[in-house]
Amino acid sequence: VNKRLTPVEKIEQSEPYRFFLSTVHGIQDNYNQTNAISLKEILSVEHGQLTRSAQFNYMFDIEFLLEQYPSEFRLKPLLIVHGDSRDDNHSLKTQCSPYPQIELCPARLDIPFGTHHTKMMFLLYETGLRIVIHTANLISQDWRQKTQGIWISPICPKTNDTRESKTNFKKDLLDYIEQYRTRQLQFWQKTINEHDFSSINVHIISSTPGRHTGANINKFGHLKLRQTLKNYLNLENNEQYYSAPIIGQFSSIGSLGPNANSWLTKEFLTSLKQLNTNSFDSPELKLIYPTVENVRTSFEGYIAGGSLPYNMQTAMKQTWLINYLHRWKADHRQRSRASPHIKTYLRVTNDQYKNLLWFLVTSANLSKAAWGVLEKNNTQLMIRSYEIGVLFIPKQFSQTIFPLFDSSSFPIPYDLPPVKYESTDKPWIVDMTYKNQPDSHGNMWDPH
Ligand SMILES: O=C(O)c1cnc2c(S(=O)(=O)O)cccc2c1O
């Protein structure tokens, strides 16, 4: 019998990974019980007495957001951290004007085309501080029938000594927040400092706008990922890992250059393939991005494509990318039709994908803006956007690898091995017209 789990039971059962997918309207209930959680359940009164919270995000529906908090918490102080692009700001100001308990904190975006992609919650309870890092906008559409990724920290108790985690989570989080350079985050900087993070077992991989150089060059973006994998991935120097495939999965794609050898493999893949040895084999890079058919047959239909903003202007410059592309397929989680808004990067052993070497869930899509691009003869990493994600490394869980197909296996979001695009498959492009076949709601897609 499928007993409905309470939010607290769901989190207890998710140990030690604490990694969830969003619940999906329309799938069998048991696929919404195991390692799946809703926004209301994340904010449930069951976790304790909330005193205040902060919500970092890109898109906000304030009415929807307040509705997800238990009624007794809706008047608590709420800090909204958002990108400072003018138009959003206006609508956001208007949305928040009836609520004096809501404070708006615009994140500076000094570099053109940068966005505040970061999706994170600070939840301060009387018993301590919880951090949630995820991939969903704070709008109902993002939490209804998509596949989103969510990591939920323990409630970290207050402490009178620093109490850092073995993964330097506290320092990395404070380094990230420092980059906003705003007094509005001072309360949270102080609060983070006062709590004991020693139970946290994931690494932070974040991005902040800037030209990061010198001592800061490995602090953010794909160089932070490279550095962290180099320092913590304790794979014995055995050959079998050298060709272990790397998988990237995302909901949008930036302009990557005229061929694979510019940024994608020379820079980005170099960071992802980092082992603690300088392995020479080039592992296969497999990229998962929805096909038109994935979108057409999804629960939402073509509308899902509105959240997959890969545009024609970019796509036509990089037709070479199609050779790396694989379909979205998540039958084992009953989410093949729940369009992905999650972004994940992982590495598996090449013996039929039985073991996971590491796993990253993040807000960062496949773009230079998110991950950074090396400049000035590789002396600086230029990043345009704010991003944040958490990296799972077996060593931090007292394992050498994460088993994929047994009882203690890691709850991966999609089916492995990924299924390569067939010759008839096309990547979803948001500003193309799709009129030859109706979607699951009988509609066509004509963006003009
Ligand atoms: O989750 C995000 O951070 C994010 C960012 N951008 C999006 C865009 S667009 O601004 O790139 O046109 C269009 C549709 C969905 C988007 C989205 O979900």
Residue 250 has pLDDT above 70, yes or no: yes
**Average pLDDT, integer, range 154-164:** 92
Residue nearest to atom 8 of ligand 1 (CA): 309
CA dist., res. 345 & res. 364, Å (int): 10
For the CA of 136, the nearest atom of ligand 1? 1
For the CA of 252, the nearest atom of ligand 1? 11
User: How remote is the C-alpha of 302 from its chain's centroid?
Assistant: 23
Query: What are the residues facing 37 on neighbouring strands?
Result: 22
Residue nearest to atom 3 of ligand 1 (CA): 117
Residue nearest to atom 14 of ligand 1 (CA): 307
**Is 109 in contact with 182 (CB distance < 8 Å)?**
no
| Residue 330: per-residue pLDDT | 98
* Type of residue numbered 45: V
> pTM here?
0.97
Residue 170 has pLDDT above 70, yes or no: yes
pLDDT in tens, 343-379: 999 999 877 778 999 999 999 999 999 999 999 999 9
Q: By mean pLDDT, which of 86-100, 291-305, 321-335, 358-372 is the weakest? A: 86-100
State in Å: Cα 291 to ligand 1 middle: 18
Residues taking part in catalysis: 117, 341
Per-residue burial over 164-177, b if 16 or more Cβ lie within 10 Å, else e, is: ebebbbbebbebbb
State in Å: Cα 307 to ligand 1 middle: 6
Count of other CB atoms within 10 angstroms of residue 112: 8
| Residue 152: per-residue pLDDT | 99
DSSP string, 177-229: HHTT--GGGHHHHHHHHTB--TT---EEEEE-SEEEEGGGTTSSHHHHHHHHH
Which of 272, 42, 21, 24 minimizes the C-alpha distance to 149? 21
Give burial (CB, 10 Å; 0-12/13-18/19+) of 446.
exposed
Q: How confident is the model at residue 206 (pLDDT cuts 50, 70, 90)?
A: very high
State in Å: Cα 210 to ligand 1 middle: 21
State in Å: Cα 413 to ligand 1 middle: 21
Q: How confident is the model at residue 407 (pLDDT cuts 50, 70, 90)?
A: confident
Examine residue 16 and say whether the peptide bond preceding it is cis (omega within 30 degrees of 0). yes
Q: By mean pLDDT, which of 219-223, 267-271, 312-316, 388-392 is the weakest? A: 267-271
Q: Which residues touch 94 (CB under 8 Å, ≥6 apart)?
A: none
Instruction: Please choose from 56, 109, 115 the residue to mutate so as to test ligand 1's pocket, defined by most ligand atoms within 8 A of CB.
Output: 115
pLDDT in tens, 33-91: 999 999 999 999 999 999 999 999 999 999 999 999 999 999 999 999 999 776 666 79
**Average pLDDT, integer, range 230-236:** 82
State in Å: Cα 333 to ligand 1 middle: 25
What is the ipTM for the molecules in this complex? 0.98
**Average pLDDT, integer, range 288-295:** 98
List, edge to edge, every strand of the sheet that includes 36-37. 36-37, 19-22, 149-152, 128-134, 120-125, 50-56, 78-83, 102-107
Count of other CB atoms within 10 angstroms of residue 226: 18
| Percent of the residues in the chain that have a pLDDT greater than 70, as a whole number | 96
Read off φ and ψ for residue 17, nearest 5 degrees: -85, -35
| Residue 90: per-residue pLDDT | 74
| Residue 280: per-residue pLDDT | 61
| Residue 134: per-residue pLDDT | 98
State in Å: Cα 28 to ligand 1 middle: 29
Read off φ and ψ for residue 389, nearest 5 degrees: -155, 170
pLDDT in tens, 4-15: 999 999 999 999
| Residue 278: per-residue pLDDT | 58
Residue nearest to atom 12 of ligand 1 (CA): 309
| Residue 442: per-residue pLDDT | 98
| Site residues for ligand 1, CB cut-off 6 Å | 58, 117, 137, 306-307, 309
Instruction: Please choose from 61, 137, 428 the residue to mutate so as to test ligand 1's pocket, defined by most ligand atoms within 8 A of CB.
Output: 137
For the CA of 135, the nearest atom of ligand 1? 1
**Average pLDDT, integer, range 317-337:** 97
State in Å: Cα 304 to ligand 1 middle: 12
Residue nearest to atom 9 of ligand 1 (CA): 309
**Average pLDDT, integer, range 267-286:** 80
Q: How confident is the model at residue 262 (pLDDT cuts 50, 70, 90)?
A: confident
| Residue 243: per-residue pLDDT | 80
Instruction: Please choose from 22, 57, 58, 300 the residue to mutate so as to test ligand 1's pocket, defined by most ligand atoms within 8 A of CB.
Output: 58
Residue 447 has pLDDT above 70, yes or no: yes
Which of 399, 358, 378, 17 minimizes the C-alpha distance to 205? 358
**Average pLDDT, integer, range 160-166:** 89
For the CA of 117, the nearest atom of ligand 1? 3
Residue 424 has pLDDT above 60, yes or no: yes
**Average pLDDT, integer, range 377-405:** 96
**Average pLDDT, integer, range 135-146:** 98
Instruction: Please choose from 252, 312, 342 the residue to mutate so as to test ligand 1's pocket, defined by most ligand atoms within 8 A of CB.
Output: 252
